[in-house]
Amino acid sequence: MFKDQKISYSGVQPSGNLTIGNYLGALKNFKDFARDYKCFYCVVDEHAITVRQVPADLRRRTYETLALYMACGLDPEKSTLYVQSHVREHAELAWVLDCFTMFGELSRMTQFKDKSAKHADNVNAGLFTYPVLMAADILLYQTDVVPVGIDQKQHVELTRDIAVRFNQLYPDTFTLPEPYIAKNVRKIMSLADPTKKMSKSDENVNAVVYILDDKDTIIRKFRRAVTDSDSEIRASEDKPGVSNLISIYGGFTGKSVEETEKEFAGLGYGEFKTAVGEACAAALAPVQQRFRDYMADKAQLEAQMKRGAEEASWYASRTLGKVRKKLGFVQL
Ligand code: AQP
């Protein structure tokens, strides 16, 4: 259709202050695609309301997430940066795809199981069908590759299954997307409980390092990180806390597990934790400075949202028009 270039698509929910999990798993890798791909990066505010949000906070974080995209090196002249609720085709395609997604498939999604346990008082249908809205996000743009953290791989695989099912009935509708998981970066885990994913909605602020935390806070949080009773800096399954810190250190410095183990051989946890904190703070400092510059000009951010929404709508409406026609909806 509009495919003279490969397409990359991804999104982040403005559901809390963004963490180094979001940064290492997703944001940091987005700009690597900008050279060779046509990129769409979305602030997925419609996904965020599967969990109750305070409206003023959701609004503020939507601006902040867009500013962070640019602060992480995304150039709005090259990539389409926009807000999901500004492009109505997402919700409309999600309904269509709901009718091509099986109840059993959604029941197996790990995130649904985790989030319904965490928000037991609000297990709404949106939480359940979240992966279908995500499939709509991806398929609307005829996406080839989806850079995500490992925790989202299952959702991208479901997106492929839905697309295959739809294409079997209505050939040549959707491109089949592939997840792209950054090398060397595992799922970033909570500093307080390294068996749990680091999440922006965690109530324990010491379990999470936020992209916008200052240097002292970052180092303090790492120094308090849960490790284990021996003192060896080595990655292994029975050392989830240390393995997580090695992974974070690798994410910020580009060093492999082996290089990190060698660098810190014979040193104690205290020194290692401080080094992880310093590497993290040093990598984030320029991002934080650019973020502040973008946030200082709200009118410019709004102009960017508007332009991004217009660009995204142009692509999204072409795919949705094709879907509507194939389904047999009357075209006026
Ligand atoms: N801990 C993590 N490790 C690696 N990657 C991660 N991502 C999130 N947490 C980690 C990646 O960040 C991108 C955006 O995620 P999202 O905002 O769409 O939702 P999420 O995965 O549900 O992130 P959170 O922080 O856990 O949000 P809440 O607390 O609101 O549920 C995705 O590519 C994700 O893989």
Are the C-beta atoms of residues 257 and 236 closer than 8 Å to each other?
no
Quick one: pLDDT at residue 228? 87
Q: Which CATH class is domain 205-292?
A: mainly alpha
Token reading at 325: 């026609």
Tell me, using a 6 A CB cutoff, whether residue 12 lines ligand 1.
Answer: yes
Quick one: pLDDT at residue 201? 85
Q: If you take atom 18 of ligand 1, which residue's CA is the nearest one?
A: 12
Quick one: pLDDT at residue 184? 65
Token reading at 270: 């205290």
Fold of domain 7-181+297-327: Rossmann fold (3.40.50)
Tell me, using a 6 A CB cutoff, whether residue 200 lines ligand 1.
Answer: yes
Q: State which of 111, 199, 201, 205 you would mutate to test the pocket of ligand 1, scoring each by most atoms of that ligand within 8 A of its C-beta.
A: 199
Question: Residue 230: CB partners within 8 Å, gap ≥ 6?
Answer: 239
Quick one: pLDDT at residue 64? 97
Is-catalytic flag, 118? no
For 244-275, the DSSP string reads: HHHHHHHHHH---HHHHHHHTTT--HHHHHHH
Which stretches of the chain drop beneath a pLDDT of 70? 1-3, 184-185
How far away, in angstroms, is 3 Cα from ligand 1 center? 29
Segment 19-37, tens digit of pLDDT = 999 999 889 989 889 888 9
**Helix, coil or strand: residue 39:** strand
**Helix, coil or strand: residue 159:** helix
Mean per-residue pLDDT of the chain: 95
Is-catalytic flag, 200? yes
Is-catalytic flag, 115? yes
pTM for the predicted model, two decimal places = 0.92
Token reading at 231: 């003192």
**Helix, coil or strand: residue 9:** strand
Domain borders along the chain are 7-181+297-327, 205-292
Query: Measured between alpha carbons, how far is residue 151 from residues 41, 69, 155, 209 in Å?
Result: 18, 20, 9, 18
Segment 176-209, tens digit of pLDDT = 999 998 776 679 999 999 999 999 989 999 999 9
Quick one: pLDDT at residue 185? 66
Quick one: pLDDT at residue 247? 94
Tell me, using a 6 A CB cutoff, whether residue 188 lines ligand 1.
Answer: yes
